[in-house]
Amino acid sequence: YSLVEKFAGISGNKDGLDMLPDGEFLPPYPLNAVEDHFRETVSRNYKNRHVITARMAHISKPQPVHLEQGRGQCQNRVLCQRGCPYGGYFSSNSSTLPWAEKTGNLTLRPFSVVHSIIYDEQKGKAAGVKVIDANTKEEIEYFAKIIFVNASAINSNLILLNSVSGRFPNGLGNDSGVLGRYVAFHYYGGDVSARYEGPLDKFTVDGRRPGSGYMPRFRNVYKQETDFLRGYAAGVSAGRGFYSDTSSVGESLKENLIHRKPGSWYVNSHMMGETIPKKESQVTLDKEKKDAWGIPLLRISVDFDDNDRKMLQDFYDQLSEMYDKAGFKDIQTKIRQGEPGLDIHEMGGVRMGLDPKTSMLNKWNQLHACKNVFVTDGACMTSTSTQNPSLTYMALSARAANYAVEQMKKGEI
């Protein structure tokens, strides 16, 4: 974690929380006036509940390693979705791909759809990867001593399921029969929003910042206290609307448009819940339908359950209660539930475990039954927790890559 955090650049406070361990952080971005008011209210009224400034992969104060990558400080433009020309927030485009290119060992092969992993029956290991050219439909094979599968959780499952051979008729490494099972995701089921007629003379410290507040999981942390398992985190963001009097004309209209008047504060929280991995939650290959490149379509069989519904209601109840204690008005709850997994953070299906009979990967993210294949994206996860998981994937990838190199040097792979 420390290696990845220093390299990527993570802003945040060292909050000393068991449910959200501290790391190697750059200076945090501030809470605004109403978020800070909510933080004080929660701290005063509840034990083991905390509102903190969100930890983000944004460079608040560049370090030498970031400058060496060619990245600059976050400009607080709040245009992150466009891609950052300054490299102020971490992405593979701004950071890891250029860094890998500098080694001289990186080859990118665009317009490539991975079909499967090639298994060498005689050597008892993977030999390479078969890809389909997205434009010409040509089949191309690449060969390697070690293969890392990081196609994102669902597609990593698809690739392994489609990698069949005499040794592995049900998917590469699938001696246990659990490949594609125990798929889970983060549950963004609902929102709680309100209005606040509080300190109208304040806005934020500098007007803009890339994130807001965050409330780490507080349910079932130290003991089981609810009728549902596990818990949820919540985002906490506050802001203000602005309006202009456009009834006038000329100089007066110009002044009104330039000097807009701030309106009421609004507050919003969204839920980030942990779903429970279950054996029946699985992905399988369609036996008949194929995509444009001749690869079987993936059938996804997952759903919400009673635990999710109970968790959502508790989120509504608890956030509404905390909002009320903070003096927020017009508290409203909103369900934002779409189909399972349509939000973000799919996980599982190629899970880690000590027992090859019940898992696909060992503690080094290495296939139990095919030692030169590693899976370090979300597919490897055994549970989802409530935190954004990408940092963990990166830490697992760095750890597994280091282990793979050590094993190669020893002649074990």
pLDDT tens, position by position, 367-392: 999 999 999 999 999 999 999 999 99
Rounded distance between C-alpha atoms, residue 381 and residue 390, angstroms: 11
Tokens, residue 211:
């994130």
Instruction: Tell me, yes or no, whether 352 lies in a domain.
Output: yes
Pairing of strands 147-149, 370-375: parallel
Q: Is the pLDDT of residue 276 over 60?
A: yes
Instruction: Tell me the mean pLDDT in the region 357-366.
Output: 98
pLDDT tens, position by position, 303-323: 999 999 999 999 999 999 999
Q: Is the pLDDT of residue 40 over 90?
A: yes
**pLDDT top residue among 200 and 304:** 304
Tokens, residue 288:
């008949």
Rounded distance between C-alpha atoms, residue 35 and residue 236, angstroms: 7
Domain that holds residue 372: 147-185+345-413
Instruction: Tell me, yes or no, whether 155 lies in a domain.
Output: yes
Q: Lowest-pLDDT range, 14-18, 194-198, 260-264, 265-269?
A: 260-264
pLDDT tens, position by position, 281-303: 999 999 999 999 999 999 999 99
The predicted structure's pLDDT at residue 389 = 96
Instruction: Tell me, yes or no, whether 350 lies in a domain.
Output: yes
Mean per-residue pLDDT of the chain = 94
Q: Is the pLDDT of residue 263 over 90?
A: no
> What are 329's strand-pairing partners?
195
Mention every residue, 6+ apart, whose C-beta is less than 8 A from residue 122. Answer: none
Instruction: Tell me, yes or no, whether 389 lies in a domain.
Output: yes
pLDDT tens, position by position, 44-102: 999 999 999 999 999 999 999 999 999 999 999 999 999 999 999 999 999 999 999 99
The predicted structure's pLDDT at residue 243 = 67
For every residue of 221-284, DSSP letters joined together read SSS--SSSSS-EEEEEEEEEEEE---SS-HHHHHHHHHSPEEEEEEEEEEEEEEPPP-TT-EEE
Instruction: Tell me, yes or no, whether 336 lies in a domain.
Output: no
- Nearest alpha carbon to residue 197 among 59, 385, 326, 288: 326
3-state secondary structure of 333: strand
pLDDT tens, position by position, 128-143: 999 999 999 999 999 9
Q: Count of domains in the chain?
A: 1
- Nearest alpha carbon to residue 210 among 95, 73, 92: 73
Contact 196, 250 (CB under 8 A): no
Q: Report if pTM > 0.85.
A: yes
Instruction: Tell me, yes or no, whether 407 lies in a domain.
Output: yes
Instruction: Tell me the mean pLDDT in the region 261-271.
Output: 88
Contact 184, 277 (CB under 8 A): yes
Instruction: Tell me, yes or no, whether 193 lies in a domain.
Output: no
Cα 293 to the chain's mean position, in Å?
A: 29
Mention every residue, 6+ apart, whose C-beta is less than 8 A from residue 65. Answer: 6, 7
Rounded distance between C-alpha atoms, residue 319 and residue 228, angstroms: 17
Contact 49, 39 (CB under 8 A): no
Rounded distance between C-alpha atoms, residue 20 and residue 108, angstroms: 36
- The domain that holds 382 is classified in CATH as 3.50.50.60
Task: Give the containing element (helix H, strand E) for 64.
Answer: helix 64-68
Q: Is the pLDDT of residue 203 over 70?
A: no
Instruction: Tell me, yes or no, whether 395 lies in a domain.
Output: yes
Contact 330, 194 (CB under 8 A): yes
Instruction: Tell me the mean pLDDT in the region 168-191.
Output: 97
Q: Is the pLDDT of residue 205 over 50?
A: no
